Chains A and B, each alone.
Chain A
Amino acid sequence: MIQRRIEHYDSIENLPIDNWFKINETSNLQWVAKTDRVDIKKHGPVLLNAWNKIFDEFIDTFGIPEKMKEIMEVKRDIFLMKAQRALTEDRSFETLIEIEEDKLKKILYQERAVNAGQVKVYVEKYLGFKLNVKETTVKEFYQYVEALNENARR
């Protein structure tokens, strides 16, 4: 069956920051597409490839954000404990896993609150004008954030 091609973003230079936030919040790849209606079953692989490319570009440009690193570390800890639990059959890991999972939930909650709202507000305050999140690209937005951080350091 021939699949119809789908229009999608492919770089941090064209992906709007609003979509970036939504993908990070919901893990839904439909925000990589440029159209409103997306059949994920059909176009999932194409969108995933595009998202991987965008994500790689982001990290190559801005590095791995500290928060993301923290999340990855916690996720890794949880997996290591789960693996130990499965390999050693030592049930005492379960309590530790729960503790780490609570920790992860908290971090994710904070991250969401900060990303979606506060950062935008800080940037707008710094810039002195209101950002159009549908038009501002990821690259532009994070360049503002970097500038803001730089300013704060001074």
Chain B
Amino acid sequence: MPGDKITREDLFGDGLFPQKEIEAYETAVNALIIANTELIKTNLKIAETNLIKNAKDVRELNKAIIEGTRATEAKLKAETQREKLNLAAIKRDQAQFRSEQLRTKEIEKKNKVIEKENSAYQKLSKQLLDQKKRVKDLLSAEKQLTDEDKKLIAETQKLDEKLKKIDKTVGDNQRNVGNYESALSSLSPLFGRVSQSVSGFGAALKKLAKNPVLLTITAIVASLSGLVALLKTTDKGATSFAGTMKGLSNAMDVLRIRLVGVVTGTMSLKNAFTGLGDELSKAFQAGIEYENQLDRLSDAETAYISQKAINANKVAKLDFIAKDTTKSIEERINALQKLIDIELMEAKEEEKISKERYEAELNLLAATKGIEKEKLRAFIESSEARDGFQDKNNFTDEEIKALEESFAKTKEADTNFFEETKKANAKLQALRKEDLDDKLKTYDINRQTELDNLRSQEDTGKRNISQLDKLNDELTKKISNGGIFSFVFSIDDIKKRKKAVELMKKQAEEQRKIQEEILIAQAEDEEIKATNSIENEEERAAAIKKIRNKLALDIMNLNNETAISEKNTNKKIEMDERAIFSSRLKAGQDFARNILEQVDERRQAEINMLDDQISQREKNIEEQLRLAELGSDNELAFQRQKLAEEELAKKEQQKKAQRQEQALKLADTFLNSLNSKLEKDIPYGRAASEAFAETFAAKGLSSLIAGSFIEGTEKVSDDLKGNKAHNGKDGYVVAVDGDERIINPKQNKLLGDISNDELIRRALLPNYALPTGRNIDTAAGMSNSLMLHKLHSIDKKLSMLEQIADKPVSSFELTNLGEVIEKQVYKGVESRFKYQRQTRSGLKG
């Protein structure tokens, strides 16, 4: 029978499927999504890396495709299921909201009816009162009644009956459970006020409000004793009111017991009223105290339940930690200790509440039954046999029965309370346990993923640190080996070295002088000796001549030796300097390269980041375009602007990188050239000047390019403001890209102030302008008209093309089942719409 078939709606309909089950289902759907995602990823990896080289590859790829495709289908299905669940949840919320709205409306409607009836009732009451007065006057006048008078009396009776009927109706309303407030409010404005104040009462009066009779009495008493104001808002007021009423009720019970005793003959009239005042007072006070205690208990119970609910979460978490084997033993023990503490605290609180309730009940019983409290306690707590106990304490059978009933009631109330709390707690624990079980199931996977992430982070961190360390080491090494700083400060060294060389030269000269003086002194000595020893004048002259010749020869030799030595020293110094300079030059060059490479890496990273941003931005634009097509709010303009900014930034970075690369290359060329020349023993001055000459243009470019890269300009000098580097005539040195165009000054002069953009526009667009003036040649006019006509036609076609590109193009197909399928192509994307047959004449979309 189709009607008996259980449908999905039956299972997932409002209120039919418990929230817990829905949550479980949701968890299952989510688990499915996660599992299938993993499966897709695994198979994706296999499919991507498969080379299709042999039969095994083919089989593996086939398997990955089949399994992966199944997983994609399952994931999409689960996602649809999840969407359905979300939709159902929204629908449930909506239904609840609607039902609440309906209830509010119904209440308002009823209130209006009651108000209306109330006002009619008052009118009728007034009318009855007037008529009754008139009837009374008529009857007291003791005269013959006219027909009119009789009519008045009959009408009054009818009216009286009518009102009684209404009263009866109201009485029925009072017995209508759950509608006391509206029923009372219809009685009189006074009751209305009281019932309004009920809504502001606390827990104590809410119990009271469930008893309509008591509420009615309460309202009357309250109105008489001016308690209404006290009862209006606070819970305290409500408690004391309820206490007053309990006191009155207790006093009435005492009275009733005594009266019953008198009537049944078990109590004399004298005894019945002896000490009645005290007993009444005691019972009244006990009632008030009892209600106060109950109120305190109620607050304590509420606090206990809330705390218990909070504790349930804490306990679950601590339990989870205690079970977690990845935690340290110390942590797990701590968690268990905390858990035990919470449970002990709960037990203590339960005991405390229980005791307080017990005491309250004991007090009340003692007061109302006129038995001592301690006797009662002994009775309840005694383990002795009831009969003996009864005799020993002079209890009557009725008293024992009453006590047992009362005790049983108290016990039941306590048991109920703790049972309910236990159940609620067990429910919470069960839910929490399911949660925990789920968590434990996914725990391994999550933990593994987290662990992997951490390891990967750790690896990256280590790698970064090792790279930094390496770089730092290299830099330190280079600096200590005479890197860029030694290179920079080597001028001082050269100066010092120069001074040392000068000193050496001076010392050599002094040495030479001393040797020369020694030679002269030796020659003089020899001359004196020869003069003294040789008598023959000719012989003496010949010997002195010989001595002097020898001296001249010796001085000449000495000078030659000194000159050679100086030359050698100079050469050595020069060679040393060149070697030192060369090595320093190389170190400096390496250092500069290193730095520039790092800068380049950073720039590349920035470009990559911009690329990512641009690709994300493009996706955003696509999304915004979609929104714009749907007519929704969008931020297309903003996204486009951002894209333009990011592309510009990327271009700038690329330009900078290009400039830097060129500058680096040029500087490198110069330094290489200088170095190679120094290695060929060419003196530094010559080497530097030659290298400079060879790379002059390059050097000029490198210094210039750093701030003067331009891309398309109408006037070079304007763009190179502040970076002028004249080269020859009036020329500026600029860098150009391979795909740029250069025109000569003559051509540029002809173009005048036309901007490049304008130049392109004029070159590319056809000239629409017609010759103006009066003497328009007919043929030219016709030809121009024809041209205009053609241009117009082209424009039209272009516009059509644009429309085709921007507007959806539809085509229709009719299937055998009578369905119409519309295919819509919009911006290259095809959409299909199916229209089902609804009636003979119409179609349902």
Q: Closest residue to A58 on the B side, CB-wise?
A: B55
Contact B40 A87 (CB under 8 A): yes
Please choose the segment from B46-54, B140-148, B560-568, B754-762 that sits at the chain A interface, where 4 or more of its residues have CB less than 8 A away.
Answer: B46-54
Contact A55 B55 (CB under 8 A): yes
**Complex Cα spacing A101 to B62, Å:** 16
Contact A80 B37 (CB under 8 A): no
Encode contact with B along A63-74: 1 for CB under 8 Å, 0 otherwise.
Answer: 010001100110
Interface residues of B in 16-71 (CB under 8 A from A): 36-37, 40-41, 43-44, 47-48, 50, 52-56, 58-59, 61-62, 64-65, 68-69, 71
Contact B55 A72 (CB under 8 A): no
| Contact among B44, B54, B75 with A80 in the assembled complex (CB-CB below 8 Å) | B44
Contact A75 B72 (CB under 8 A): no
Interface residues of B in 384-426 (CB under 8 A from A): none
Is A60 in contact with chain B by the CB < 8 A criterion? yes
Closest-CB distance, B814 to chain A (whole angstroms): 21
A64-B58 in contact given A72-B52, A83-B40, A87-B40 (Cβ < 8 Å): yes
Is A110 in contact with chain B by the CB < 8 A criterion? no
Contact B47 A79 (CB under 8 A): yes
Is B829 in contact with chain A by the CB < 8 A criterion? yes
A86-B75 in contact given A59-B58, A79-B47 (Cβ < 8 Å): yes
Q: Closest residue to A76 on the B side, CB-wise?
A: B47
**Majority SS of interface residues in chain B?**
helix
Interface residues of B in 61-87 (CB under 8 A from A): 61-62, 64-65, 68-69, 71-72, 75-76, 79
Is A120 in contact with chain B by the CB < 8 A criterion? no
If A60-B55, A79-B68, A86-B36 are given as contacts, then 20 extra A-B residue pairs at C-beta distance below 8 Å, sorted by A number, are A52-B59, A56-B55, A59-B55, A64-B52, A64-B53, A64-B58, A73-B52, A75-B61, A75-B65, A76-B50, A76-B65, A80-B48, A82-B68, A83-B43, A83-B44, A86-B37, A86-B40, A87-B41, A92-B829, A98-B830
Closest-CB distance, A107 to chain B (whole angstroms): 15
Closest-CB distance, B504 to chain A (whole angstroms): 79
- Chain A residues near B62 (CB, 8 Å)? 72, 75
Interface residues of B (CB under 8 A from A): 36-37, 40-41, 43-44, 47-48, 50, 52-56, 58-59, 61-62, 64-65, 68-69, 71-72, 75-76, 79, 829-830
Is A43 in contact with chain B by the CB < 8 A criterion? no
**Complex Cα spacing A77 to B50, Å:** 12
A85-B47 in contact given A55-B55, A76-B61, A92-B829 (Cβ < 8 Å): no
- Chain A residues near B48 (CB, 8 Å)? 80
Contact B58 A85 (CB under 8 A): no
- Chain B residues near A89 (CB, 8 Å)? 79
Q: Closest residue to B56 on the A side, CB-wise?
A: A56
- Chain A residues near B58 (CB, 8 Å)? 55, 59, 64, 68, 72
Closest-CB distance, A89 to chain B (whole angstroms): 8
**Complex Cα spacing A56 to B56, Å:** 8
In the A-B complex, the 9 residue pairs with the closest CB atoms: A86-B72, A56-B55, A59-B55, A79-B65, A83-B44, A82-B72, A86-B75, A83-B40, A76-B47
**Complex Cα spacing A75 to B72, Å:** 14
**Complex Cα spacing A80 to B68, Å:** 9
A85-B829 in contact given A55-B55, A69-B52 (Cβ < 8 Å): no
- Chain A residues near B50 (CB, 8 Å)? 76
- Chain A residues near B69 (CB, 8 Å)? 79, 82
- Chain B residues near A58 (CB, 8 Å)? 55
**Complex Cα spacing A95 to B827, Å:** 12
**Complex Cα spacing A80 to B58, Å:** 16
Can you list 12 pairs linking A and B with CB atoms under 8 Å apart?
A: A60-B54, A64-B52, A72-B62, A75-B62, A82-B69, A83-B41, A83-B72, A87-B40, A89-B79, A92-B829, A95-B829, A95-B830
Contact A80 B76 (CB under 8 A): no
- Chain B residues near A68 (CB, 8 Å)? 58
Contact A72 B54 (CB under 8 A): no
**Complex Cα spacing A69 to B50, Å:** 12
Contact B37 A87 (CB under 8 A): yes
**Complex Cα spacing A25 to B249, Å:** 96
- Chain A residues near B52 (CB, 8 Å)? 64, 69, 72-73
Encode contact with B along A38-67: 1 for CB under 8 Å, 0 otherwise.
Answer: 000000000000001001101110001000
Interface residues of A (CB under 8 A from B): 52, 55-56, 58-60, 64, 68-69, 72-73, 75-76, 79-80, 82-83, 85-87, 89, 92, 95, 98
**Complex Cα spacing A92 to B36, Å:** 21
- Chain B residues near A79 (CB, 8 Å)? 43-44, 47, 64-65, 68-69, 72
**Complex Cα spacing A79 to B67, Å:** 10
**Complex Cα spacing A59 to B62, Å:** 15
**Complex Cα spacing A92 to B58, Å:** 29
Closest-CB distance, B717 to chain A (whole angstroms): 51
**Complex Cα spacing A124 to B71, Å:** 46
**Complex Cα spacing A67 to B97, Å:** 62
**Complex Cα spacing A26 to B72, Å:** 25
**Complex Cα spacing A48 to B59, Å:** 12
Contact A59 B65 (CB under 8 A): no
Closest-CB distance, B42 to chain A (whole angstroms): 10
Contact A83 B829 (CB under 8 A): no
Pick the most buried of A72, A76, A79, A89: most chain B CB atoms within 10 A of its CB.
A79
**Complex Cα spacing A20 to B830, Å:** 39
**Complex Cα spacing A76 to B36, Å:** 18
**Complex Cα spacing A88 to B555, Å:** 99
Closest-CB distance, A154 to chain B (whole angstroms): 28
- Chain B residues near A52 (CB, 8 Å)? 59
Q: Closest residue to B828 on the A side, CB-wise?
A: A95
**Complex Cα spacing A55 to B62, Å:** 13
- Chain B residues near A64 (CB, 8 Å)? 52-55, 58
Closest-CB distance, B82 to chain A (whole angstroms): 12
Q: Closest residue to B36 on the A side, CB-wise?
A: A86
**Complex Cα spacing A22 to B72, Å:** 30
Pick the most buried of B43, B44, B53, B64: most chain A CB atoms within 10 A of its CB.
B44
Closest-CB distance, B114 to chain A (whole angstroms): 56
**Complex Cα spacing A77 to B798, Å:** 37
Contact B829 A86 (CB under 8 A): no
- Chain A residues near B65 (CB, 8 Å)? 75-76, 79
Closest-CB distance, A71 to chain B (whole angstroms): 10
| Contact among A56, A80, A95, A98 with B47 in the assembled complex (CB-CB below 8 Å) | A80
- Chain A residues near B64 (CB, 8 Å)? 79
Closest-CB distance, B579 to chain A (whole angstroms): 62
- Chain A residues near B53 (CB, 8 Å)? 64
- Chain B residues near A87 (CB, 8 Å)? 37, 40-41, 44
Closest-CB distance, A53 to chain B (whole angstroms): 10
Q: Closest residue to B37 on the A side, CB-wise?
A: A87
- Chain B residues near A85 (CB, 8 Å)? 72
Q: Closest residue to A81 on the B side, CB-wise?
A: B72
- Chain A residues near B830 (CB, 8 Å)? 95, 98
- Chain B residues near A75 (CB, 8 Å)? 61-62, 65
- Chain A residues near B47 (CB, 8 Å)? 76, 79-80, 83
- Chain B residues near A92 (CB, 8 Å)? 829
Contact B54 A59 (CB under 8 A): yes
| Contact among B40, B61, B76 with A72 in the assembled complex (CB-CB below 8 Å) | B61
Closest-CB distance, B623 to chain A (whole angstroms): 10
Q: Closest residue to A52 on the B side, CB-wise?
A: B59
Closest-CB distance, B188 to chain A (whole angstroms): 66
Pick the most buried of A60, A64, A69, A92: most chain B CB atoms within 10 A of its CB.
A64
**Complex Cα spacing A59 to B59, Å:** 11
Closest-CB distance, B350 to chain A (whole angstroms): 52
- Chain A residues near B41 (CB, 8 Å)? 83, 87
Closest-CB distance, B716 to chain A (whole angstroms): 47
- Chain A residues near B72 (CB, 8 Å)? 79, 82-83, 85-86
**Complex Cα spacing A73 to B54, Å:** 14
**Complex Cα spacing A60 to B65, Å:** 22
**Complex Cα spacing A1 to B47, Å:** 39
- Chain B residues near A60 (CB, 8 Å)? 54-55
Pick the most buried of A56, A72, A92: most chain B CB atoms within 10 A of its CB.
A72
Pick the most buried of A58, A69, A82, A95: most chain B CB atoms within 10 A of its CB.
A82
